[in-house]
Amino acid sequence: MAHITLNTAVSITGLSKRTLWRRIADGQLRVHGIPSGGGEHTRVLLDDVLAMSPLRLEGDDRALIAAADAGDAEAQCDLALLFLAQNLAAEAVRWLALAAKQNYPEAMHQLGRCHIAGRGVAANEALGVEWISRAAAIGHGTAKPMARYLMDPSRPALDGPALEARLDAIEREQVLAVLRETAEMEPGRGGRS
């Protein structure tokens, strides 16, 4: 049986710690061992937390949540993307920030996009550009052309939605380029064999 921290349980359920403590007291939420003074290190049963969660989850999401709770940056980023997909942007930003602090490039890129779009945080183009540039500096493929565009002094000043649309177009161009390159390399598709 997997257990997660109370902080992660707050994130997954959207409930306050106070509410979760009440659920622990009335037996709806089981703890691992005896919580020492009600501290931050209290671990609760993941299955109990999921029963209280508004998230729509699939089978492998349990392992994802446990890995994110354990501090795995890739899992934290993937959990954030799950939150974004379900329009829970504030929680997504929280998980992206945790992964970005570990220099996980995709989290840095996505955190930058959230800051630019004002998704889950107040819009802050400068901070968004900083995160995307940091992702680009450590090799994130999509962030590189975005950073070049964002840092170009001759680029037009765009409002948030227009800038977000331009970044989406850059991302689409990058994905299509990779798909074309992959198709050219496949034997029997007119490419190299």
**How many other C-beta atoms lie within 10 A of the C-beta of residue 58?**
8
- The letter for the amino acid at 111 is L
Residue linked to tokens 């050219």: 184
Is residue 143 classed as helix, strand or coil in its secondary structure? Answer: helix
What 3-state class would DSSP assign to 134?
Answer: helix
pTM for the model = 0.88
Nearest residue to 109 (alpha-carbon basis) of 54, 170, 67: 170
Q: What is the mean pLDDT of the chain?
A: 91
Domain that includes residue 185, residue range = 71-193
Minimum mean pLDDT range among 28-32, 37-41, 142-146: 37-41
The answer to whether residue 105 is domain-embedded is: yes
**E strand map for the chain:** 3-5, 43-45
**What confidence score (pLDDT) does residue 59 get?**
81
Q: Are residues 37 and 78 in the same domain?
A: no
Number of domains in the chain: 2
